[in-house]
Amino acid sequence: MGQVISINIGGLTCDGCSGKVKKTMENISGVISAEVSHESGVAVIEHEGVSKEVLISSIKSTGYTIDGKGEDFHWRDGSVWKQSAHNTKWCLVGCSIGDFGTIAAFQSIPYLDALGWSAMSIMLLAMFNGIMTSIALETFILIKQMGGIREAFRVAIGMSLISMIAMEASMNATDLLIMGEPTLTWWIIPIMLFVGFITPWPYNYWRLKKYGVACH
């Protein structure tokens, strides 16, 4: 029979967070089992001779906090770069659907073109629609993980608005600077996607590494 310790963890928002910490704990030599609840924010760990400092350090390394303190921030965590890239990718997919769809509609539907909207108005509408479709996609992805649409929507709406705005603004600014107006061609789309991905990626890394915020 090993020793049992309970640790309060900050930043757990879903089963994915709990599972991440549980897996990290159980990979530590000497840990027998770990039960982690995002609802209570408590990890109950059974171990044999593992120091509390090692357990706490491992939890912090996953991006969560203990007593409001996380791991000292740095830019060298490859796993966080990978996870933040994954988060950014799904945000980009959602944003692109609404954004590109809006620009394509004004470009190809005579009725909309006849409205005479300015380039800035079309860009703002494209940005708004992009953010809405991104939130909708995030909600769909999280439904099973969060146990229902209400909780999934709550988490999705809490995703980084700054990240989505930066993504949308950079994509539309790139389109405007190169094409002179909101226009889609086969060769401008990859450029817009690249800029839209690169712009918020460092911010998403910082947010995930420092606060453990973003679940997929």
Mean pLDDT of 100-112: 94
In this structure, are 38 and 85 located in the same domain? no
Domain holding 194, by residue range, is: 78-211
Position 216 scores a pLDDT of: 46
Structure-token match 């020793």, residue found: 3
Is 216 contained in some domain?
Answer: no
Position 92 scores a pLDDT of: 94
Separation between Cα atoms, residue 9 and residue 114, nearest integer Å: 56
In this structure, are 119 and 203 located in the same domain? yes
Is 32 contained in some domain?
Answer: yes
Separation between Cα atoms, residue 123 and residue 183, nearest integer Å: 10
Position 175 scores a pLDDT of: 97
Query: Under a CB-based contact definition with an 8 Å cutoff, are residues 102 and 125 in contact?
Result: yes
Mean pLDDT of 182-200: 97
Q: How far is CA 129 from CA 12, 49, 177, in A?
A: 30, 54, 21
In this structure, are 103 and 52 located in the same domain? no
Between 4-18, 33-47, 53-67, 202-216, the lowest mean confidence (pLDDT) is in 202-216
Is 118 contained in some domain?
Answer: yes
Does residue 78 register a pLDDT over 80?
A: yes
Is 66 contained in some domain?
Answer: no
Query: Under a CB-based contact definition with an 8 Å cutoff, are residues 212 and 65 in contact?
Result: yes
In this structure, are 106 and 188 located in the same domain? yes
Q: What is the tally of structural domains in the chain?
A: 2
In this structure, are 97 and 21 located in the same domain? no
In this structure, are 33 and 104 located in the same domain? no
Q: What is the pTM of this model?
A: 0.72
Is 70 contained in some domain?
Answer: no
Separation between Cα atoms, residue 168 and residue 193, nearest integer Å: 10
Separation between Cα atoms, residue 46 and residue 34, nearest integer Å: 6
Is 35 contained in some domain?
Answer: yes
In this structure, are 82 and 34 located in the same domain? no
Q: How far is CA 163 from CA 84, 176, 197, 209, in A?
A: 11, 20, 10, 15
Does residue 88 register a pLDDT over 50?
A: yes
In this structure, are 56 and 107 located in the same domain? no
pLDDT in tens, 113-140: 888 999 999 999 999 999 999 999 888 8
DSSP letters of 40-67?
Answer: TTEEEEEESS--HHHHHHHHHHTT-BBT
In this structure, are 143 and 185 located in the same domain? yes
In this structure, are 82 and 56 located in the same domain? no
Confidence of residue 149 (pLDDT cuts 50, 70, 90): confident
Is 89 contained in some domain?
Answer: yes
For residue 190 the two structure tokens come to 């990859």
Does residue 214 register a pLDDT over 70?
A: no
